[in-house]
Structure 1
Amino acid sequence: MKDLLRYLLIAIAICGVFIIMGCEGANKKGEAKMALFKTTNPHPAVLYETPEEFKFAEELHKYVLSFPDIYDAAIITGKKRVLVAYKVKHMKRFKMKKIEKDLNKKLEEKYKDHNFTVSSDYKIFLEAVELNESLKDENYPRDKARKEFGKIIKLKKEMT
């Protein structure tokens, strides 16, 4: 009887470990959890909160979504650096490099005073959505957000 009880406790402990490990992904915030599966179109994030930056971010978001092959975009603006992460329509995925090149070229031409990092990579998109979610919290430190922004830019450069 003691052996049966011991095996039962071990089985319960192992099941508990698997349950905890399975719930680990649930700590992502709001939109970030489902960003790969549905259109999120998060509000553009602004690291240096000035009225001009908010206006620029809104205008940029509308401009990026005006491209016919793009259906979702996450934008984070810094002082002069801007991250534009986007998702392309499923049937347009074979032209992703061309879409990225065209978008980057048009953004550089239209907004000459900003430096753009453009990516259709899902990892970059998820990181941008998570940072955007964090920035909605008033207590989230802006210095930490800027550091995270730099990490995302660095990650994109490492991927190319």
Structure 2
Amino acid sequence: MKTTNPTPTVTEKNKGQDKVEKIEKEVESFDEIYDVAVVKGKKDTLVVYKVKHMQRFNMKEIEKDLNKTLEKKYPKENFTVSSDYKIFLEAVRLVERKNNGSLSDKQAEKRFNEIVKMSSDMK
């Protein structure tokens, strides 16, 4: 399976990078998941992932278990969790543009909020 494995990103400089990396490791520990992107904004943390093909029948259960695990380990965080491929692509684009310097922190936060809103609208 082809994975992109983008680096976990924070929209603000030097705020919570370690926590975001721990969250990514936690999500990657699920056997059913093979690719993860984690982006942390000022208020929310976006976790998007891809599920292995044969596990697609269990997607609701996987998302429920993932939500429960993240809420238990990080109770102060506000998570937006999605397995939607479009949201995954938008998150990866945001990470790439942030890392190569074509987005400022303010622009990255604005785009991050648009992606979170798009994710919540799809549910």
Same fold (TM over 0.5): yes
Q: Once structures 1 and 2 are overlaid, which stretch shifts more, 133-142 or 148-157?
A: 133-142
Counterpart of 1:24 in structure 2 is none
Point out the structure with the larger strand share: 2
Could you tell me how far apart the structure 2 residues matched to 1:79 and 1:146 are?
A: 7
> Normalization by structure 1: what TM-score?
0.73
Could you tell me how far apart the structure 1 residues matched to 2:10 and 2:45 are?
A: 9
Asked whether the 8 Å contact 2:13–2:105 carries over to 1, the reply is no
Larger Rg: 1
Counterpart of 2:33 in structure 1 is 70
Counterpart of 1:11 in structure 2 is none
The percent of aligned pairs where both chains have the same amino acid is 53
- Say yes or no: does 1:43 pair with 2:14: no
| Structure 2 residue runs without a partner (length 5+) | none
Which fold has the larger relative contact order, with Cα–Cα distance below 8 Å and residues 6 or more apart in sequence?
2
Could you tell me how far apart the structure 1 residues matched to 2:66 and 2:17 are?
A: 21
CA offsets 1:34-85 (integer angstroms, 9 cap, x no match): xxx72011110111222x5111111111111001111100110113310000
Could you tell me how far apart the structure 2 residues matched to 1:154 and 1:145 are?
A: 14
Could you tell me how far apart the structure 2 residues matched to 1:129 and 1:139 are?
A: 14
Counterpart secondary structure, 2:4: coil
Point out the structure with the larger helix share: 1
Counterpart secondary structure, 2:16: helix
Counterpart secondary structure, 1:151: helix
Equivalenced residues, count? 123
Could you tell me how far apart the structure 1 residues matched to 2:16 and 2:27 are?
A: 16
Counterpart secondary structure, 2:79: strand
Asked whether the 8 Å contact 2:46–2:80 carries over to 1, the reply is yes
- Say yes or no: does 1:106 pair with 2:62: no
What is the RMSD of the two structures over their aligned residues, measured on CA atoms? 1.2
Counterpart of 1:94 in structure 2 is 57
The 4+ residue runs of structure 1 with deviation greater than 6 A are none
Counterpart secondary structure, 1:40: coil
Counterpart of 1:28 in structure 2 is none
> Normalization by structure 2: what TM-score?
0.95
